[in-house]
Structure 1
Amino acid sequence: MPIKVTLDAELQRAGMTGKELAQAIDLSETQMSLFRSGKVKGIRFATLAAMCEVLGCKPGDLIDFEPEGDGG
């Protein structure tokens, strides 16, 4: 999957844990863990916006795009 979750870097910058962020945005720790590990297929914009609000960042700070190689 070329989409990479970069939330951990923002959590570190903000001095927060995933558990603290999950509590702040009323998300289960399980869902936060799944997002952090990249095991979710999607995320609601409202959840992404809440993360950005708490962390003081933009959506692009939480996810990145790394194109897969073309083999050549």
Structure 2
Amino acid sequence: MPIVVTLDIMLARRKMKSRDLAAAIGITEQNLSLLKSGKVKGVRFATLEAICATLDCQPGDILLWQPDDDPAPT
């Protein structure tokens, strides 16, 4: 899929655990894990807004468009 979720990187930069982010934005750890792994087909704008507000970032900081023929980000 050409949309890559880089939420793990932002969590590391903010020194926040997935469990804490999930609690702060009101979703389950399992749903956050699915989002982080890119196994979801979509994300609600309200969820994206809550993530960005909590992590003090922009959507482009956690979502990356990468054509299928490009290598994975490092």
**What is the percentage of aligned positions where both structures have the same residue?**
52
List alignment gaps of at least 5 residues for structure 2: 70-74
Tell me the TM-score normalised to structure 2 length: 0.90
1:1-40 → structure 2 map (5 Å cutoff): 1-40=1-40
Question: 1:18: how far off?
Answer: 0.8
Structure of larger gyration radius:
1
Q: Find the residue that maps to 1:15 and give its secondary structure.
A: coil
- Structure-1 separation of matches of 2:4 and 2:54: 20
Q: What's 1:60 paired with?
A: 60
Q: Runs ≥4 in structure 1, deviation > 4 angstroms?
A: none
Post-superposition CA distance 1:31-56 (Å, at most 9, x none) = 00000010000000000000000000
Q: What's 1:48 paired with?
A: 48
Q: Find the residue that maps to 1:42 and give its secondary structure.
A: coil
Number of matched pairs? 69
Q: Find the residue that maps to 1:39 and give its secondary structure.
A: coil
Q: Find the residue that maps to 1:4 and give its secondary structure.
A: strand
List alignment gaps of at least 5 residues for structure 1: none
Question: 1:68: how far off?
Answer: 1.9
- CA RMSD between the two structures: 0.6
